[in-house]
A and B are shown apart, each in its own frame.
Chain A
Amino acid sequence: MSLDAFSVVVAFLALVEVALGVSLVAAATRSARAGSDESVAAANSRLALTAGTLLAVAVVSCPLLYLLLESWVPRWPGIMCVEGVRRIGTASAGASGWLPSLLATLDLTKPAVVLIAGAWLILRRADALHRRTATTVAVILGLVAMLDGAAQAAYVTIEKEAVPAVGGCCTILGPGETGSSATSFVATHARAWFPVGSIAMGAAALALRRLAGAGRSRTVLVALLATTALVAVPFGAAFLRDVAGPVALGLPLHRCAWCALAEAPETMAGTVLYGAAVLATAWASVARFASTGGDCTLESRLLAVASFGFLGTGAMSASYCWT
């Protein structure tokens, strides 16, 4: 294994994440068993410190992992972008064969850690009614963080220098392979539905923000919006790859999200905007669930962020469709 500065930093952060995950599970267990109010308060403050640090580490490690993959592009002759690095290990025997699966795991666990950490931070502010839920969420956060850190550490440390890469264009598939982007439902409908869907979700978030009352119907509507936003994420990824990427790069046939992110900074801004909107919607749903006494301040603020993100992404994606 040849180590570079990025590898060392990413591996270190992965180990920190595993340690924080273990610490969080232990602190949550102690908090659940605590008897007196004083010991609960002490356990909760330890939990808050650990979860806050974990959230910061998770947020920082996302762009660092991307930069690490990008820094590895020149290592293999013929590889053109991050997509090529992500394919390293495909159909390989031994430990290197796990590399693509580890990256696929990280694709899910990285945003999951941020999402769950945010949800826990909201729940911990709620009253004693939700204390048990908050403790359960803290344990889940710890476990997901351990998985994320372990997968990241394994990905960085597995020997990959000797693994041959399939060079050439990242969008070209090998003989006999079928392009899933052309056939899948998501890819087929992303162009038409993503801009409309984003604008509709933005409008819905704005409407919910203004909707009076704190009844059950509002809770259901906010949860429905959060579910829709999470389900729409693959459409967003397909839109970035199949529509925004080719337009931004000026390469009508070049359907690669990684090339778009690397060469067209506005696509990165759009991705961050959309990610923030999805997270804010999910957190608003948690805030709605945890709120008592009709206090909707946090939920309202999160819905405002969500509406801005969705409407901004909708406007951006509509612009790509018309360009």
Chain B
Amino acid sequence: MNRRAAATLLFVAGVAAAGAAPTIAHAIRGDRGDRCDLDGARIDLSARVRIADAISGSHEFCCVHCAERWMESSGRVPGEILVTDETSGNEVDARVAWFVWMRAPGESGIRAFADEQEARRHAAAFGSTVLTADERPFREKD
């Protein structure tokens, strides 16, 4: 093989390798694990929100805010929204959950509770209030 042919072969191989790089890298990275579908943050299981969508399947988010942003951006009306009860760690239907805007250091954001009394107790402890009516997240779904 002469020098010119070798250079051409190297050129074509390089371009082909560049074209294959995204697919190979994707295969190597594999599953992303428990990360938010919107911002890629690690999901704290006590704040996880899961949305079941008939079109694109199940999506997991790190917080209520990300889940709402996803709904807003995608324009989809999900079949089911499950939030995580702060106290027990169990999943609760967003329609019956109680939401509190937490302002504790390192814990700011909306947290969900299955029990009204627990929600009010947490709200009082952190100088916050239980979200009602228009303040509630996912209110289009209610």
Report A's interface with B, CB cutoff 8 A.
Answer: 77, 80, 168-172, 244, 247-254, 259, 263-266, 269-270, 273, 304, 308, 311-313, 315-316, 318-320, 323
Give the contacting residue for A319; candidates B20, B29, B32; CB below 8 A.
Answer: B20
Which residues 64-92 of B sit at the A interface, judged by CB distance below 8 A?
65-66, 69-70, 73-74
Asked whether any CB of chain A lies closer than 8 Å to the CB of B16, the reply is yes
Q: Are A315 and B25 in contact (CB under 8 A)?
A: no
A168 and B32 CA atoms in complex are apart in Å by 20
Bound together, the chains give a CA A259 to CA B40 distance in angstroms of: 9
| List of B residues within 8 angstroms of A311 by Cβ | 15, 18
**Contact residues in B for A264 (Cβ distance below 8 Å):** 25, 29
The residue from B18, B20, B24, B39 contacting A251, defined by CB atoms under 8 A apart: B39
> B19: shortest Cβ distance to chain A, in Å?
3
B73 touches A312 (CB 8 A): no
Report if B106 contacts A (CB, 8 A).
yes
A-B contact list, 15 entries, CB within 8 Å: A169-B66, A251-B37, A251-B38, A254-B38, A266-B24, A304-B11, A308-B11, A312-B17, A312-B19, A315-B19, A316-B19, A318-B19, A320-B22, A323-B23, A323-B26
Q: Which residues of B contact A (CB under 8 A)?
A: 11, 14-26, 29, 32, 35-41, 65-66, 69-70, 73-74, 106
If A80-B39, A80-B41, A172-B69 touch, whether A266 touches B22 (CB-CB below 8 Å) is yes
* Min CB–CB distance B76 → chain A (angstroms): 12
User: Which residue of the partner chain B has the closest CB to A318?
Assistant: B19
Contact A169 B25, CB 8 Å, known A273-B18, A316-B18: no
Interface residues of B, dominant DSSP? helix
> How far is B16's CA from A319's CA once the two chains are assembled, in angstroms?
11
Question: In the complex, what's the smallest C-beta–C-beta distance from B130 to chain A, in angstroms?
Answer: 22
Given contacts A248-B25, A315-B15, contact A169 B39 (CB under 8 A): yes
Please measure, in the bound complex, the distance between the C-alpha atom of A251 and the C-alpha atom of B14, giving whole angstroms. Answer: 28
**Whole-angstrom distance from the CB of B16 to the nearest CB of chain A?**
7
**How far is the CB of B71 from the nearest CB of chain A, in Å?**
11
Residue of A nearest to B56 (CB): A252
A312 touches B25 (CB 8 A): no
Q: Cα distance A264–B106 when bound, in Å?
A: 29
Q: Nearest CB to that of A259 among chain B residues? A: B40
* Among A170, A250, A313: residue with most chain B CB under 10 A: A250
Contact B25 A266 (CB under 8 A): yes
Cβ–Cβ contact A254 & B40, under 8 A: yes
